[in-house]
Structure 1
């Protein structure tokens, strides 16, 4: 990890270290499962004694912000996963209305995030967004579905970060957690619809261009249009899946009925 921690300038107390790490987590610089540098390196970057650092890390662990793995380092704790517990994730994934409500919610909140991003994104934000967009495009061109899907989620994470609103950032991350956990299986099948991958790439480019161009209204519309498309596509996947299921059952039933008729005729 590059040096994201700053030298403690004044009192060099454990509280100063705690506040800096808390801020990095809150601002989304440190993310779930990010590993902190080792004790010696962290003490050097903060320019504090190791006893002070240990006291700070103990406080952060007691607050549930970091977790120490025996012999394996210290990591940012999984706090986002607690927004939707496992039973709730299972309920959401198994009820179509919950999926529809999820997309409705995302359409509105991502519209706001894209609008804010167009107003507030810094040069560094836009450089990161460029990098993700290039990665998505390259994955698309070489037909790497998994990489393209990962870049898709990372793109939406980055838009949330560009918005520079802490509550919006973590709310979006809790939403995207449902995607990374595979709660909405139909979403992954959207990529298999004819022309869908090309359309999705074009939509991400439209969001990117509007944000990079500092056009809030266009960014909001592009983000909302994207979720509307995903919503329609997921409904089509669901509908097509039902058609295939019924067709398969009909074929099986009629094949078995035909076999039965032929056997009856032979016996006569």
Structure 2
């Protein structure tokens, strides 16, 4: 990952390399940097130069040193919404429609760009996730399927090779992981959703692998449309079941006619 430093082995050259790795998503929030001795050796710089570089990165709040625990990439996935807006959305579920509209557009664009730009290692990663999705599906491991769902979309975003899109998607998926907009577990408990979602993810991966941007965009948009429609269907069923329960409860209290 780390390459020997040129530019007369200055601290700024070290900073530029580590910043570039962070910007391009190679180094991610929470990743631990190698020990000082090892990192200096990989970069081919002196330890004093490395310390100066790490100090500057820490001042820029890109890394953080933990006493006795090493140096880590800071939590760089800032909130796409402020906490008050998140709470506002939670109180007004109608905002979910806007969320899906946003995701449909950005997921479609990410899929199309991934089909045009994915490197061989990106394709290997997507294929690996699909294989793990298949295994989780066969094992009926709903938690793993749900977790791999997010990992798959992360991988598509990285394969698009657009750093602004990448960090936007990561913020968006953090909201998804935290259940701000909907509970993914509920989606995977739908009677037909598990097989449908697996096939949709396979279709997106296949279009990207084939270098088909139109097909990748279409498959990504259809996937979001399905998720949106399935969740709406589940919510409608819940409302009808709740109403039926109220009616049963009320009728049980009415004394029979004599």
Deviations 1:137-168, CA, capped at 9 Å, x for gaps: 11111111111111110110111111111111
Q: Which runs of 5+ in 1 are unaligned?
A: none
Larger Rg: 1
Q: Provide the secondary structure at the position in 2 that maps to 1:36.
A: coil
Report the counterpart of residue 173 of structure 1 in structure 2: 170
> Deviation above 6 Å: which 4+ runs of structure 1?
none
Aligned residues: CA RMSD: 1.6
Deviations 1:214-260, CA, capped at 9 Å, x for gaps: 111001000000000001011112212222222223333333x24xx
TM-score, scaled to structure 1: 0.91
Q: Does 1:57 align with 2:54?
A: yes
Q: Does 1:106 align with 2:103?
A: yes
Length, aligned pairs only: 257
Report the counterpart of residue 146 of structure 1 in structure 2: 143
- TM-superposed deviation, 1:67: 1.7
TM-score, scaled to structure 2: 0.94
C-alpha separation between the residues in 2 aligned to 1:83 and 1:167? Answer: 13
- Which range moves more in the overlay, 234-243 or 168-177? 234-243
C-alpha separation between the residues in 2 aligned to 1:92 and 1:12? Answer: 50
C-alpha separation between the residues in 1 aligned to 2:244 and 2:72? Answer: 50
C-alpha separation between the residues in 2 aligned to 1:221 and 1:173? Answer: 21
CA contact (8 A) 1:206 1:222 kept: yes
C-alpha separation between the residues in 2 aligned to 1:67 and 1:243? Answer: 51
Report the counterpart of residue 17 of structure 1 in structure 2: 14
- Which range moves more in the overlay, 69-78 or 194-203? 69-78
Report the counterpart of residue 33 of structure 2 in structure 1: 36
Report the counterpart of residue 207 of structure 2 in structure 1: 210
